Structure 1
């Protein structure tokens, strides 16, 4: 009986293999090309502000800036004031070295606010000839102007005005009042707009 089962088993296996080979011929499908998406708008966000290029009115927004719906940053206007007050010896336009740090600080301030200009107002005490004092006050302002230029400030941003011995703040006739009136003064107001930053999950708290 065993010898009869073995040939039958082999016959069945051969039959199954033949049918499997015949079935593979029918497993053929028509090739479909991958569809290409037609992108109408530019969905790229070059400045990474969360607003796509297609509707970004400010395409170069600084990183971390708080923006509006048009992709434009929010700016906060700041204002700073710098004063210059330099005193001179009697009948002299030489700048005392003690005031050179003031001039350097003013030069740095003018560089930080490049759209500003400065008016140097020179004064003289009520000692001596009025016409002479007028020229002396102008010369003092010119010396401060030269010092600012030497610190990198353009000549076009500096104006000079000499008041001589007029418009004085100290009206006394004593030596202290005269000393306070031998001066060059200036007040500069600088305006600047800084970007308001937006909090994100990547912000770090300063420790």
Structure 2
């Protein structure tokens, strides 16, 4: 019986010690309120792409396109190439009207791909003096440049270079070879962005 009373008294003493130990001033902690999450005020999704306006950096994404974390569509670059080849008569830089369509098409191409520019390369046949052929090749390139500018192409997007008779496609000395070497040529490559479509259960997978 004495042992029971002794154990009871000891338990009460320990409990009292623990209560007093946990209520000391140095063991008290300041109460911290539960953080409140800031909710964006604009929860609308104007382009219906699943990204709210508050987070959407591209608010006009095409319907069904695959998106990145900022709500912008992915693009696939597909290269398109357009060439220009204009022939001239001997000792002339007059552009035959038959080539005006080529120039017009090139102007439209440059308008469609505003990030591109073009270098017009002028050439001459191996007839006459080399120094005069160099000037002639530059005049031919400048003539084509002028026509492009008339079709709305900006000046800073068109440069010219004359090679004279130093570069010949046709090595012969006949009239056909000379005619093929009196020319202005150019090639432009543009990249048109195609939207990458979002995968759905109806998407076909290549075999």
* TM-score strictly above 0.5: yes
Distance 1:70 1:91 in 2: 59
Can you list the C-alpha shifts for 1:131-171, whole angstroms capped at 9, x where unaligned? 11000000000000000000000111000000000111111
Query: How many Å apart are 1:180 and its aligned residue?
Result: 0.2
Q: Which residue number corresponds to residue 62 of structure 1? A: 61
| Cα RMSD (Å) | 2.1
Distance 2:82 2:117 in 1: 12
User: Does the 8 A contact of 1:61 with 1:71 survive in 2?
Assistant: no
Report matched runs for 1:7-46 at 5 Å: 40-41=39-40, 42-46=42-46
Q: Residue 53 of structure 1 aligns to a residue in which SS?
A: coil
Q: Which residue number corresponds to residue 150 of structure 1? A: 150
User: Normalising by structure 2, what TM-score?
Assistant: 0.73
Query: How many Å apart are 1:54 and its aligned residue?
Result: 4.0
Can you list the C-alpha shifts for 1:33-64, whole angstroms capped at 9, x where unaligned? xxxxx9823422122211223443x2424231
User: Does the 8 A contact of 1:49 with 1:61 survive in 2?
Assistant: no
| 1:111 and 2:114 aligned | no
| 1:163 and 2:163 aligned | yes
Report matched runs for 1:79-158 at 5 Å: 79-158=79-158
User: Does the 8 A contact of 2:61 with 2:72 survive in 1?
Assistant: no
Query: Number of aligned pairs?
Result: 163
User: Normalising by structure 1, what TM-score?
Assistant: 0.73
User: Does the 8 A contact of 1:61 with 1:73 survive in 2?
Assistant: no
Query: How many Å apart are 1:67 and its aligned residue?
Result: 1.7
Segments of structure 2 that go 5 or more residues without pairing to the other structure are 1-36, 201-207
Q: Which residue number corresponds to residue 47 of structure 2? A: 47
Segments of structure 1 that go 5 or more residues without pairing to the other structure are 1-37, 201-207
Structure 1: 4+ residue segments shifted above 3 A = 197-200
User: Does the 8 A contact of 2:117 with 2:188 survive in 1?
Assistant: yes
Q: Residue 121 of structure 1 aligns to a residue in which SS?
A: strand
Distance 2:196 2:189 in 1: 22
CA gap 1:121/1:59 in 2 versus in 1, 3 angstroms: closer
CA gap 1:174/1:113 in 2 versus in 1, 3 angstroms: same
User: Does the 8 A contact of 1:48 with 1:63 survive in 2?
Assistant: no
